[in-house]
Amino acid sequence: MRSTEEPATLRSTPRLIAATAAADTVLILTFAAIGRDAHSRGEPVAGVLLTAWPFLAGAAAAWLLLRLWRRPLALWPAGVAVWLGAVGIGMLLRASTGQAVVLPFIIVALLSLAVFLLGYRLLVAGLLRLRRSRRQG
């Protein structure tokens, strides 16, 4: 549901959709790279892609199934859907392809991807509110 008070900068445009999808992708890749580095795993590029692909697929599924391009920067439902899709579907894909899925990793993925995927959306919303209040005041 789009509010009439919603700033134009949050409304869907091809540029905003692409930027938001790119941000989600970069942050999921960053999560995978940090995890691989923390565990001193080799193969920097291929390894990061191997670790990230299930989470990227989960995020993409959320984008497509829920048509998140309508309001891609919205914390709800877009941010929450991308976050839970990345982790939930990502863990299912990891398990089905023989990659490790253990409780500590699930917890780390939930927390890390929440900070990344919800955090930047909250930051953007806060910056837009600040900008709007400065214009009005």
C-alpha 132: how far from chain center? 25
Q: What is the pLDDT of residue 3?
A: 42
8 Å CB contact between 58 and 88: yes
Q: What is the pLDDT of residues 83-134, one digit of tens each?
A: 999 999 999 999 999 998 999 999 999 999 999 999 999 999 999 999 988 8
**Residue 69 clears pLDDT 90, i.e. is over it:** yes
Tell me, what's the pLDDT at 70?
95
Q: What is the pTM of this model?
A: 0.89
Reported as a single tens digit per residue, the pLDDT across 33-63 is 999 888 776 778 899 999 999 999 999 999 9
Q: Output DSSP code: residue 12.
A: -
- Whether the ω angle into residue 77 lies within 30 degrees of 0, i.e. cis, is yes
For 38, the token pair is 């923390």
Per-residue pLDDT of 2-39, as tens digits, reads: 443 445 456 789 999 999 999 999 999 999 999 988 87
The residue with tokens 């829920």 is 66
